[in-house]
Amino acid sequence: MTFASATWAEPHLNVVPRTAAEAARIAAATAPTTDFTKPEQFETHPSGAATKFDIRTRDAFSFASANMPFEREMDFKVGNGFFKKLWVTAPSSTVSSDGLGPLYNARACQRCHIKDGRGHPPEGAGDEGVSMFLRLSIPAEQSDLTEETLAYLGAAPEPTYGLQLQDKSIPGIAPEGQMQITYSEVPVTLGDGSVVTLRAPEYDVVDLQSGALHPDVQLSPRIAPQMIGLGLLEAIPAADILAHADPDDADGDGISGRPNMVWNHEFDREMLGRFGLKAGSATIREQSAMAFHADIGLSTSMFPEGYGECTASQTACRAAPDGNTPEQQNLEVSDQVLNLVTFYSRNLAVPARRNLDDPEVLRGKELFYDAGCTSCHTPKFVTDRLNDQAEQSFQLIWPYTDMLLHDMGPGLADNRPEWQANGQEWRTPPLWGIGMTQTVSGHTYFLHDGRARNLLEAILWHGGEAEAARETVRLMTAADRGALIKFLESL
Ligand code: HEC
Ligand code: HEC
């Protein structure tokens, strides 16, 4: 599907236009550095004035933007409450907490975005693996839906099970099925002769509720990403993201970078996709409403059906009682609650950099630039000047993402298109905070499905447009590889 007239306006932002003088200052401030002898100015502050200092505990991702005005802190706290809230089956005596499911993946946002950090794949039998799920679809040409309907969906739904496999359900309704992962070992020999063994996953669905999946079903496994700095990513001017795009690789560096163009249900128009692992959603508010809808089975003004993601063929599921209540705009989640959760999700602070003047970290930073990692993991942006979002307004940020889609080769492919993204493309994930993963999450599973067990494995999985960068790392001396990893750990 293509949108005929792509306009890249930003209805989600209340922007004060940039002056020419500001634009020139910003260009200078965001130019890639060439001096690796010392840290850059403001490099300690990955999220500008919103950066939170002196937090090296498990709670490191759970603090509010450091520049949040005092009078907004209560909204952040209440939003946090709803992010953690365990929803219950309807009907219940607490109408403001009911409406779960009938089908769902988890009962709370926080169950997947654990400690506001990333999720993980199941660790052995018995681990429920709730912090990841499978998206489903079929090739668009095999769908019975009209082109017009498909234009409002990122992909063509699997006819029985929809766009996502819900592996949990309320009593009386069977869950849709269970994700099954099998790993096989893939040895990679490094330049110095040592061998790293990667694990290549294969996905399947067992215990299916209503018969077989479509023969050409596409399964896309996704780990819940970390929640920090999202409001700042939402406030990067679309024009600055598009300035890094090179869809036809006109500069011949082997790296293209394409924007995703998506339908946005909040503003009922096409917009630049930013959120989700394939940039399938343009705003945090819409991504959150989709999470309520598909992950927890709760209605919002954007997705008002009380039955969540049950398809027309799942009749028992559609007929189950819901929690839509008159006092809540006839919804399970009122706009007030959605707005508080959105405000919370926009304002989780990025922790300050650590050890950035360590000579080994500086050496690793130089190697990161030399290896071409910055072609996708763009170090710096300046956010828009915003009238009503003091925390995100006009900040120099260091997210290490270009917010664009890249072909990462067949090894990482899910072979499931989403809007303009094809089955080999993923959005460059931000690397800020990645060095705190062990502290916050107690693990170091990386990439879209958590297959990498540490940072080196994550790099060695890079293929496609990132193949040259990966080869540079594979062939590095052990000392250089160590320095590169140490730099990543300082982010
Ligand atoms: C079952 C696990 C699960 C639950 C529950 C869940 N999420 Fe997520 N979340 C994910 C996954 C997986 C993604 C990536 C989705 C994609 O690629 O489209 C995601 C992405 C996001 C993003 C975009 C982050 C980014 O970096 O692009 C936001 C914002 C978000 N979730 C908010 C929420 C909110 C708010 C809730 C509760 C209403 C919630 N999530 C509940 C798993 C979950
Ligand atoms: C062509 C663009 C591109 C280049 C070049 C590139 N990356 Fe990536 N990187 C990505 C994408 C896209 C992903 C997500 C892939 C996935 O999840 O399957 C990723 C993921 C990662 C991750 C895991 C992040 C997470 O949150 O799980 C790390 C670490 C990383 N890259 C480091 C590097 C380093 C170091 C280099 C240079 C040697 C590099 N990347 C070069 C695009 C790129």
- Is 416 touching ligand 1 by the criterion CB < 6 Å? no
Confidence band (pLDDT; 50, 70, 90) for 127? confident
- Residue 396 phi/psi, 5-degree rounding, is -80, 115
Instruction: Report residue 175's pLDDT band, with 50, 70 and 90 as the boundaries.
Output: very high
Tell me, in angstroms, the distance from the centre of ligand 2 to residue 462's CA: 6
Which residues, other chains included, contact 113 with Cβ-Cβ below 8 Å and sequence gap of 6+?
83, 119, 131, 224, 225, 226, 227
The CA-to-CA distance between both ends of the chain, in Å, stands at 37
**Cα-to-centroid distance, 360 and ligand 1 (Å):** 35
Q: Cα(112) to centroid of ligand 1, in Å? A: 8
* pLDDT tier, 4 (very low <50, low <70, confident <90, very high otherwise): very low
Per-position b or e across 84-100, b if 16+ CB within 10 A of its CB: ebebbbbeeeebbbbbb
Helices 73-84 + 335-346 axis angle, to 10: 100
pLDDT over 80 (residue 5):
no
Distance CA 33, CA 489 (A): 20
Residue-wise pLDDT tens digits, 314-368: 999 999 999 999 989 999 999 999 999 999 999 999 999 999 999 999 999 999 9
Mean pLDDT of 245-252: 90
Tell me if 433 CB under 6 Å of ligand 1.
no
Residue nearest to atom 39 of ligand 1 (CA): 109
**C-beta 165 within 6 A of ligand 1:** no
Residue 128 is predicted with a pLDDT of: 66
- Going from the Cα of 274 to the center of ligand 1, the distance in angstroms, rounded, reads 13
Q: Note the pLDDT tens digit of each residue in 447-491.
A: 999 999 999 999 999 999 999 999 999 999 999 999 999 999 999
Pairwise CA distance, residues 422 & 435, whole Å: 30
Give the residue whose CA is nearest to atom 15 of ligand 2: 447
The phi and psi torsions of 263 (rounded to 5 degrees) equal: -85, 130
Whether 288 is in the pocket of ligand 1, judged by its Cβ within 6 Å, is yes
Residue nearest to atom 6 of ligand 1 (CA): 109
Does ligand 2 lie within 6 Å of residue 426's CB atom? yes
DSSP string over 209-261 = SSSPPPTT-EEEEEEPPP-TTHHHHHTS-HHHHHTT--TT-TT-SS---B--E
Smallest CA separation from ligand 2 atom 40, residue:
373
The count of other CB atoms within 10 Å of the CB of residue 304 is 13
Beta-carbon contacts of residue 42 (< 8 Å; ≥ 6 apart) = 48, 396
Structure tokens at 360: 């080994």
Give the amino acid at 110: Q
- Measured between alpha carbons, how far is 487 from 469 in angstroms, rounded to an integer? 16
Ligand 2 contact via 48 beta carbon (within 6 Å)? no
* CB 164 near ligand 1, within 6 Å: no
Q: Give the number of the ligand closest to the Cα of residue 278.
A: 1
Residues 6+ apart with CB under 8 A from 245: 256, 257, 258, 259, 404
pLDDT at 196: 98
Cα distance between residue 401 and residue 404, in whole Å: 8
Q: For all residues of the chain together, what is the average pLDDT?
A: 95
User: What are the start-end ranges of the E strands in 39-174?
Assistant: 103-104, 132-137, 168-169
Q: Is residue 224 lining ligand 2, measured as CB closer than 6 Å?
A: no
Strands 385-386 and 15-16: antiparallel
- Identify the pLDDT of residue 129: 57
How far apart are the C-alpha atoms of 215 and 162, rounded to whole Å? 14
39 lines ligand 2 (CB under 6 A): no
Q: Is 3 exposed, middle or buried (0-12, 13-18, 19+ CB in 10 A)?
A: middle
87 touches ligand 1 (CB under 6 Å): no
User: What's the burial of 202, exposed, middle or buried (CB within 10 Å: 0-12/13-18/19+)?
Assistant: exposed
Query: Residue 6: is its pLDDT beyond 60?
Result: no
Closest CA to 227 of 466, 478, 482, 436: 436
201 DSSP β-pair partners? 183
Burial class (CB in 10 A: 0-12, 13-18, 19+), 122: middle
pLDDT tens digits, 42-89? 999 999 999 999 889 999 999 999 999 999 999 999 999 999 999 999
412 lines ligand 2 (CB under 6 A): yes
Q: How many CA atoms lie within 13 A of 308 on its CB side?
A: 34
Task: Starting from the CA of residue 453, give the closest ligand.
Answer: 2
3-class SS of residue 286: helix
Do the beta carbons of residue 16 and residue 392 sit within 8 Å? no
Distance 387 CA to ligand 1 centre (A): 27
Q: Quote the ligand 1 centre to 286 CA distance (angstroms).
A: 11
- Domain positions in the chain are 15-489
Pocket test for ligand 1, best of 12, 110, 112, 277 (most atoms within 8 A of CB): 112
Ligand 1 centroid vs 225 CA: distance in angstroms?
Answer: 7
Average pLDDT over residues 391-412: 98
Alpha carbons 398 and 77: distance in angstroms, whole number: 26
**Please, which residues bridge with residue 381 across strands?**
397
The mean per-residue pLDDT over the stretch 420-441 comes to: 98
Residue with tokens 């071409």: 372
H-helix or E-strand containing 271?
strand 269-272
